[in-house]
Chains A and B, each alone.
Chain A
Amino acid sequence: MNSTTAVSPPLSARVPRRRRFIEMALAGLDAAGFREIDVPLLAPFEEIRSAVDESVARELFRFAGRSGEVLVLRGDVTPVVAWQYARHLSERPLPLRLSYAARVARVRQEFARYRIESHELGAELIGAQGLDADVEILSAAVETLDGVGAQGVECVIGHVGLSASVIDEVSKSNGTLRRQLDTAIAAKDRNEAVEMARANGASAETIRRIKLLTLVRPKRADLAALAEGAPRELADAVLRLQQIIDAFANRGWEDRFQLDLSRRNERGYYSGVVFSLTSPASQRALGGGGRYDRLIGRFGVSQPAIGFGLRVETILDAIDGEGGR
């Protein structure tokens, strides 16, 4: 096996340390009411595939089972938890708070450098909609990292609904243009996004919004400007982010978040607020998450949900001063 696939050397001091770290994080989540579940190692590819976008499906290792059925190895945990909920947990009282810690394998593991295998821990809040649920999960993610000793953790917050209406207006039914504009806005490439919009007859109002969406360091006033005269979906997304900012301020966390108005739906299943977690001690994001109100419904039982996942090795590297900074 290629050594770059290993999580750590077999007899490394990291092994017991990682176990203690996971136990500490899960204990913190347990105290907040999240019950640990066992995430299966294998899941039926056809069922998972029907619920996730191609970008997620591409990252899953798949192979044939004993009866010839195609199985996937645990990769992106959230769709598997959604599948488990729909199959086994849908009779439970709501909201349901779940936590997990699992070893995952992804064809492309963006947060763990070259590691194909890594450990991920996280939490999902199922059956809860609204601001309180969003704030609960965002806070749980930050507090979990604080609790395990990560320093200077910051939350980068966005909403997939901010750019959606702008992209819809400019691209209409042109799939290639949609993909290109989505990519340009997500890269904060104002020049390219504006050129593309102008070439396709976008209004001055849309151009103004693209300029706001692609700001490097947007402020609260920019968020308000985005909502001026905006369609319903965009106005709702802005309102939710403003409410979250207020909730963070009430906790004294004004310096612990950044707005990112250009965030895209990179996993394909997000439907509302999305976030990532950074630290000055790490070159990589420590984790992230978001609201996914339509994912569980793809398995037959509709429930709103929001969750987060943390990359254990990346966090340990940051705590140990090996995060590259």
Chain B
Amino acid sequence: MSTLRIAMPKGRLMESALAEFERAGISEKAPDIGRKLVIPLKNGSGSKLELLLVKNADVPTYVEHGVAEFGVCGTDVLDEADCDVMRPWTFAFGRCRIAIAGRPEVDMSRWSAGDTLLVASKYPRITRRHFSDRGWNAEVIKLNGSVELAAVLGLSDVIVDLVESGRTLKENGLVVHEVLGETRVKLIATRGLTRAQNDVLAWMVDELSAADRDKS
């Protein structure tokens, strides 16, 4: 069997995921990353595994296209990408709320079907789907970061964004108006795995599951 690849987002998510892999015995120890983008992952599966270090938003693309068999990704990114991949494991770390936020004086109860809201977000697909399910018209302004500014400076009526502690909102004079849901971090896998590749996936899920049981 050829080397299997795990698409991994660079940054905090990678650190937490690698720590989980190590605790579960999937990798022997956290590898030396440096500036390399492809890193062998010593493991106990009997198969060759390597990490592909990619941008968070690109993880679903690499996995859906089968360039990487597996990946680690948040459901915010997965739902926004609307990709067709398997999500067989949910990590305990990385839980986060996704919420509508804005200035305190914004009264969402005044809006009703037919009104058009200006909503800034990094997640236009999730945002459109939410407001459409409600029967509201939302004109979504796509931003790539510092989304809070849109509400502060009046670019939008509200924003839809991830809220971890709420500190950034508070420091910018904004409040959560409504929590839409919770995002989780998933181990994802491409469709069309062969039996041997699927065995490796099952091994990873079993090991993570066993490590979770030991922990609790």
Q: Which residues of chain A have a CB within 8 Å of any CB of chain B?
A: 110, 113, 152, 154, 156, 176, 184, 187-192, 214, 216-217, 255, 258, 276, 278-280, 282-285, 324-325
Contact = CB atoms under 8 A, between A and B. Distances in A.
Contact of B196 (A110, A216, A280, A324): A280
A230 to B, nearest CB: 23
A191 B184 contact: yes
Nearest to B196: A280
B62 to A, nearest CB: 10
A191 B86 contact: no
Interface residues of B, number: 28
B32 interface: no
Contacts of B133: 176
Contact of A217 (B65, B85, B184, B198): B198
Contact of B198 (A216, A255, A279, A285): A216
Given A216-B202, A217-B201, A110 B66 contact: no
Contacts of B198: 216-217, 258
A188 B87 contact: yes
Contact of B190 (A156, A188, A214, A283): A283
B58 to A, nearest CB: 16
A189 B88 contact: yes
A324 B67 contact: yes
Contacts of B1: 280
Given A110-B84, A187-B85, A278-B192, A283 B90 contact: no
Nearest to B209: A190
A43 B88 CA distance: 40
Interface of B: 1-2, 65-67, 84-90, 133, 184, 186, 190-199, 201-202, 205
Given A176-B133, A325-B2, A276 B194 contact: no
B192 A285 contact: yes
Contacts of B196: 280
A152 B191 CA distance: 17
A188 B86 contact: yes
Contacts of B192: 156, 276, 278, 282-285
Contacts of A280: 1-2, 194, 196-197
A276 B191 CA distance: 10
A187 B201 contact: no
B84 A283 contact: no
Nearest to B197: A280
Nearest to B69: A283
Rank and list the top 3 A-B pairs by shortest CB-CB distance, nearest first.
A283-B66, A217-B202, A191-B90
Nearest to A323: B66
Contact of B201 (A152, A216, A283): A216
A188 B88 contact: yes
Contacts of A188: 86-88
A189 B65 contact: no
A255 B195 contact: yes
Contacts of A324: 66-67
Contacts of B87: 184, 187-189, 192
Contact of B194 (A113, A184, A279, A284): A279
Contacts of B201: 216-217
A91 B74 CA distance: 54
Contact of B186 (A110, A189, A279): A189
B45 to A, nearest CB: 13
B89 to A, nearest CB: 8
A154 B192 CA distance: 10
A324 B66 CA distance: 8
B65 A283 contact: yes
B67 A283 contact: yes
A274 to B, nearest CB: 13
A324 B89 CA distance: 26
A217 B199 contact: yes
A255 B202 CA distance: 17
Nearest to B205: A216
Task: Specify which of A110, A187, A324 lies most central, judged by the most chain B CB atoms within 10 Å of its CB.
Answer: A187
Contacts of A282: 66, 192
Given A216-B202, A280-B1, A113 B65 contact: yes
Contacts of A110: 84
Given A217-B202, A284-B66, 18 more contacts: A188-B87, A189-B90, A189-B186, A190-B88, A191-B184, A214-B88, A216-B198, A258-B195, A276-B192, A279-B194, A280-B197, A282-B66, A283-B66, A284-B192, A285-B191, A285-B192, A324-B67, A325-B2
